[in-house]
Amino acid sequence: MDVLEQTRHEQFDVEPVNKREKQQPLYAARKKIHPKRAEGTFRKLKWLVMFVTLGIYYLTPWIRWDRGPYAPDQAVLIDLLHRRFYFFF
């Protein structure tokens, strides 16, 4: 075996990876996302529970409850400063 034969390389027919015809854009076009309307039993139940709980939250401060003299007449009251909690009793 000759030194020349050892240094010979096979020749392949190749083409560059970054050839102009094969290049792709770096970023894809933006795809729009549209919300889907959700329907069904649990969705209706969720809305019902939300309306009831928000109604309780916004209406309870106006409900009055007589507790006698020198006591607040609000039905639901949380007084953190004086550590008093009133819930209808």
pLDDT tens-place string over residues 40-53: 999 999 999 999 99
76 neighbors 62 (Cβ within 8 angstroms): no
Whether 87 maps to a domain, the answer reads yes
CA distance linking residue 18 with residue 37, whole number of Å: 45
Domain span at residue 69 reads 64-89
pLDDT at 45: 98
Query: Which backbone phi and psi does 56 adopt, to 5 degrees?
Result: -60, -45
Domain count of the fold of the chain: 1
Q: Is position 89 within any domain?
A: yes
Residue 30 belongs to a domain: no
Tens digit of each residue's pLDDT (9 = 90 or more) over 40-86:
999 999 999 999 999 999 999 899 988 888 888 888 888 899 898 88
pLDDT for residue 40: 95
Mean pLDDT of 5-21: 71
- Residue 69 in any domain: the answer is yes
Q: Write the single-letter amino acid at 24.
A: Q
Residue 13 domain-assigned (yes or no): no
